[in-house]
Each structure stands twice: as structure tokens, then as C-alpha cells.
Amino acid sequence: MELKKFKLKMATKAVYVGGFFVILDEDEASSLYREGFYGRPLGIEKPKTPIFRSKTILSFYEVLYLKSSKRIDIIDERGEEMSDEDIIQEAGKYIENFEIKYAVYKDLKNKGFIPKPGMKFGVTFLVYEYGPGIDHAPFLVHVLEKKEKLEVLEILRAGRLSHSVRKKLVLASVDPSELKIDYYMFRWFE
């Protein structure tokens, strides 16, 4: 009886340097992008296809999510492996309330959505149903801690923006003690 050789899928390696996680292997980068639209290919502003050859930059959210599913290993510039705690600590230097925002990212991913950075629209996440380049993101999701106050003027501004770009505005309210998330979608009347 002949034994067949099976190629085991190894975790992708990414290097953390100065606030950025980079996948240097272009085939692995493309594979991860095809798998779940993870990362942003370097030198390609908006990929029209998930097939490309490029190094890729991953967000803190993507890295922690992929690492928790054992899909990626992270090393720092010294070549030492980074733990989840290391990643969360680094993220806290760049992203206010990272753990709360990550809880929403993880929840959206687990529900089959594709969250991408929403800074361009003044929100936490731009959320796709199928993926960038395939559909337009139907949702703008802004993450708030449960006790945070939201001014009426802020809601009106966000509402006007979401309406003008034809996206639904969703507020994700997170209880930090339990990381319980409540979603509120605004509906605008004309």
C-alpha cells in the first residue's frame, strides 16, 4: 500500500515592525486575502480581484483574529514570537479602546461579515457582506462603550453622511465587563 504525501497547511508568518504587520510571502498574502479579504496589498490601492502578487499589511484586528484561529504566527523585528497579550498591548498604543472594538470585529467576522477600517467615513468599521471589489459595503459600524454618551449633533452628522453614501449606520454598544454587544441601526426618514 502506497502512502500519499499530504501537504499540511502551515500558519502564515507576519512580521511586526513599527505599528505594522507585514506578510512578506506574496503567495501567502494572496491566499489570506482570498480566504477572507484579510489585509491590504502593498502597491495595489483597491484590488479588483483577490488574485495578486504583493506583500500585505494586516490590521491589529485581523492579526489577533487570525492568530486566535491558529492561521497566522507573528514575530517582531527581533524574530521573537508575539503573544496575544503582546499584540493587544501594542494595539493599545495606536487604537483607543482596542479590546472593545476587537470584540465587535470578531463578532462581525463570526457572523460572516467583512469589516475593514472605516476611518474614511468617521466610523470604526466599513462592513461588507461579500467583500471589497465584489460589493459596496452596506454598513458603517461605529463602536462605543456602553457608558459613552453620544451627542445628537454627532448622530445627525453620521446620519447625513451614511445617507449620502447610501450605507446604513449601525452603532455597536459594548459592555466592557462582559464584552456583550448590542447593535442599533438608524433609519432615516425623508
Model pLDDT, residue 142: 93
pLDDT less than 50: residues of the chain: 1, 3-8
- pLDDT at position 51 is 76
User: Which domains does the chain show, CATH number per domain?
Assistant: 9-94 (3.40.1170.20), 96-190 (3.40.1350.10)
The torsion defined by the Cα of 179, 88, 109 and 148, in degrees rounded to 10, comes to 40
Helix, coil or strand: residue 189: coil
Active site residues: 128, 136, 167
Per-residue pLDDT, 173: 95
Dump pLDDT digits (tens) for 116-138: 999 888 899 999 999 888 889 99
At 6 the pLDDT is 42
Question: Which residues does 166 contact at the CB level (< 8 Å), separation at least 6?
Answer: 136
74-84 pLDDT, tens digit each:
999 999 999 99
pLDDT at 10: 61
Q: Give the model's pLDDT for residue 190.
A: 60
